Each structure stands twice: as structure tokens, then as C-alpha cells.
Amino acid sequence: MTVHGSVAPGFEPVRDAFADVLADARGGGSFAVVRDDTAVVDLWGGLADPASAAPWRDDTLCVLFSGTKGVVATVVAALDVLDPDASVRDLWPEFTADATIGHVLSHTAGLPYVDSPHDMLDNAACAALLSAQRPLWTPGSRVGYHALTHGHLVAELLRRATGRSIGTLVREVLAEPFGLELHLGTPECLDERMARLLRAPGYTISTFLDDPERRKIVERMYAGLLDSDERMNSAAYRRAELAAGSGTGTARSMARLYDLLARGHVVAPDALARATRTWSEGFDAINDRPLRFGLGYELEDPIGTYGPASRSAGAFGHSGAGGGRHGAWPQTGLGFSFVTNELRSENADGRADRLLDALDASL
């Protein structure tokens, strides 16, 4: 498949790596790197819709899945209205678990799924159910990725603190002021620009997990989304303001967002330092995957999610289901983003790693 876009002199290895990624693709994608407000890598190619053979264009939008969490973490840090040391009940009196806001933001609240019949697209209803639910562990005692419930909880906390929905906040705090092509609650007028998501053969989630009982928990967490091409490609999913995973955007805008953060914009320095220090780490209580979180952001980890150790010290961002990778290398002063519509299992997906290795070699 043809590689479109450009790279700055010296970044040709990244173009070569992206060409290799596309050569093995059924779908398409884009990779962008922004440094000091300059796009040094801006590449795209492949198919936005394999069924119709529609090509990936420079303005193709794609679901970010959990890359959305990094966008929302930025909103939280920029507003600085949620005290991580405060009890959730200070803002949300109906909440029954003895958890702090920091527990919610760092995936240690013990509420990784909604334990009642529910519509995952209904933020308010899911938040209400979670507020009455008994945690699986004492909040703060273990870390476990709250794949979807993280969004329900954070959206409700922000709604109570600001009176505005999370989609409105993404637009007013990030998208409009900084000219970023990021949406949470994607409007109908943009549907024609959306990439169609597809799962690679054999796609599965939580590939670090072997325990059959905890596998049932994982299936419960993701039921109706990552196991359903219809749901993940639906307008209803894109319209929903799911702070954990229904955001849409371009690699160009995600890379710009993280470059802005790396350069001290968007979020006050002390607030960003607080949000990107370690608030939780260890092996996921459910998935057996090593985790390290700030306040909503993923941080560099032992398995190299954010690239070579020489570059990723202090890195933060968020990955997304199926292969998306978005973040900042603060010591190098840049933001990067890989967006793709072809979901691959984590243990069989080296695309983002290959691109970050090539980026490292180009610097």
C-alpha cells in the first residue's frame, strides 16, 4: 500500500517503518510526531474501509478506544477541579465505596465492571449503578484496569464539579482552543470521514491472562463492544460521550496534544507533574499485565509500551484497544500518535513498537 504524507529530513527511518506496517495491513492507519509545534512525521495510508476499498485520507477520523482516556486525563488536569486526595463522596454523596478521587483516576477503586444489567452507552445510568456497587477489593489496595467504568466514574465526577458533560469539556477545554480534531460525542456531519473498524483474525483481548475465572470477568467488562463489529462501528457508540473509549480523532491532533503538554501548554506545570507521577503500579488484579498509572494517564512500564527506555523515561499518554498508541516523550520534547482501524491482539502486534523504535533511531 502507498505511504502518503511527509517526514522531516532525518526521519526517513520512520517512513520506512510505516511502509512495513502498511505492507502487512488489512486496514489502514496514520502516524504523526510533533516536536516544538512542528510536524516532523505526518504519514497515512491503507484502507479506511476494507469492505469498500475506501482509502485512508489525511483527514480520516478513527475511534481512539482507550486513547480517549489520555484526552480526558488532560481535561481533568487542565481544569484542576478534582482533588485526588478528596473522598469521592465529597462530590458524589450517593457513592457508597470508601474511595478517593485519586483511586478512581488511577484504576484502584475496585469497580472494573458494572455488576447489574446496563447499557454501556448510558453514562448516567452506569454511574448510578456503580455508586451503589460493592468494590471487588478495598479501594487503593490493588490496581486493576477499569476499561469502561473509568469513564463512567470520571465523567460523573466532572459533571458534578463543573455542571458540564465530558463531551462538552473536551470541546471547550481542548478541541476549540487549540484547534484539535478531537471529538467525544462525534457529530453526524463527520460520519463520512470515519474509518471502519475491523478485528484481525484471531483477535482477542487480555492476552496476558490465562486464568479462566478471571477471563470471565474480562469478557464481562468488554461484552458488547470489542466482541461486536456492529457496536464498535455504530453511530450510537460514536455519539456516546464515553470518557473511557468512544473518542474519535486523527493522529495529527493527538500528537499535537501531547507535544503541547510536553512543552508546558494546556495544563499548568504543577498540575501536570501531579497527574504524571506514579499513583498506582503493579500487576493488574484481573489481567496479569504490568500497569503504571498517573491520574488517568498511562506511564512508561516494564514492557516498553512507550518505546525504548532511553526515550520513554517520564513518558505518559494512553494506548488504545487493538494497537493505538499516543503519548509524550517529555525529555525529547515531542508528542506522537499511531491510529489504526485494524485491531490486533497485544501479544501479536508490534506495529507501534516498530514505529517508536524507528522514531528513536531518527532522533
Least Cα distance to 110 among 138, 86, 87, 147 occurs for 138
Band of residue 207 on the pLDDT scale cut at 50, 70, 90: confident
Q: Which residues contact 300 (CB under 8 A, 6 or more apart)?
A: 292, 306, 309, 312, 313, 314, 315, 316
Span 202-216, mean pLDDT? 81
Predicted pLDDT of residue 251: 98
Q: pLDDT value at position 227? A: 78
Residue-level pLDDT at 342: 97
Residues facing residue 6 across a β-bridge: 42
Coil, strand or helix: which one is 175? helix
**Domain at 129, CATH number:** 3.40.710.10
* % of residues, the chain, pLDDT over 70: 100
Q: Which of 110-124, 126-140, 214-228, 261-275 has the lowest mean pLDDT?
A: 214-228
| Tens-digit pLDDT profile for residues 71-129 | 999 999 999 999 999 999 999 999 999 999 999 999 999 999 999 999 999 999 999 99
- Does pTM top 0.85 for this prediction? yes
Average pLDDT over residues 174-193: 98
Work out the pLDDT band at 42, boundaries 50, 70, 90.
very high
Assess whether pLDDT exceeds 90 at residue 175. Answer: yes
> Which amino acid makes up residue 64?
L
For residues 314-342, give the mean pLDDT: 97
Number of domains in the chain: 1
- Which grid coordinates are listed for 39? 510536524
Q: State yes or no: pLDDT of 224 exceeds 90.
A: no
- Domain boundaries, position 319: 3-362
Q: How confident is the model at residue 240 (pLDDT cuts 50, 70, 90)?
A: very high
